[in-house]
Amino acid sequence: MKLRNMTNNILLVCVGMIILLVGIKIGESHKRPGVISSKDLNVTNLDKGASQNLDFGLFWQTWDTLGEYYVDKTKLDPMKMYYGAIKGMVASVEDNYTFFLTPEENQQSKDDLKGVFYGIGAELGMENNQIIVVSPLKNSPAEKAGVKAGDILVKVNNESTKNWSLQQAVSKITRTKGRKGCAYYAP
């Protein structure tokens, strides 16, 4: 009788463990809707020749934590997060003239170089986290308005330029032909 009770208890514990494991597996396969997990992504590296001894575990853990716990799932855009990670990596070298452009920003930059957009006519740069005029272009609206090399771009259309990137300033200042815009410089 004692042996039979012990056998029944062991059998009961084994069945309970099996049910628990099956429940965990089912729970893992039925994620909450809207959760973006690193397991959902197809991550490829086409350059297999270069290897670094880096552990991306923290990156993916953070990615998964955002997907699991961030309240507003509509703000979790995988491409935006991906480009943001690359922008952060490039910004970590702390060089104002080195930056990453998303495909859309790159196209905007190419359009600017083709003359599709019009602007104030000044070469801009970054200094001490401020947008500065490197040089106004000859006979440009900037030169005619008295803008000088070294002037700091403080506002564009009454919007402060504090914490702007160089690319952000350029995109706010350039305009399509006929659209009015205003930039304010402090000497």
Selected residue with higher pLDDT from 150 and 116: 150
Which one-letter amino acid corresponds to residue 25? K
Instruction: Break the chain into its structural domains and give their ranges.
Output: 117-186
Angle, nearest 10°, between helix axes 103-114 and 166-173? 50
How much is the pLDDT for 158? Answer: 84
pLDDT in tens, 26-50: 655 545 555 566 666 666 655 655 5
CA 94, CA 103: separation in Å to the nearest integer?
A: 22
Beta strand pairing call for 159-160 and 152-156: antiparallel
% pLDDT > 90, the chain: 9
CATH architecture under which domain 117-186 falls: Roll (2.30)
How much is the pLDDT for 116? Answer: 47
Residue 94 predicted with pLDDT over 80: yes
CA 53, CA 185: separation in Å to the nearest integer?
A: 46
Residue 18 predicted with pLDDT over 80: no
Mean pLDDT over each residue of the chain, to the nearest integer: 75
pTM of the model as a whole: 0.47
Could you please report the per-residue DSSP string of 49-102?
Answer: S------THHHHHHHHHHHHH-S-GGG--HHHHHHHHHHHHHHTT--TT-----
Q: How confident is the model at residue 157 (pLDDT cuts 50, 70, 90)?
A: confident
Taking alpha carbons only, the member of 136, 137, 139 closest to residue 153 is 136
Structure tokens at 145: 């308005």
How much is the pLDDT for 181? Answer: 47
Residue 109 predicted with pLDDT over 60: yes
Q: Which of the residue ranges 79-83, 154-158, 178-182 has the most confident prediction, judged by mean pLDDT?
A: 79-83
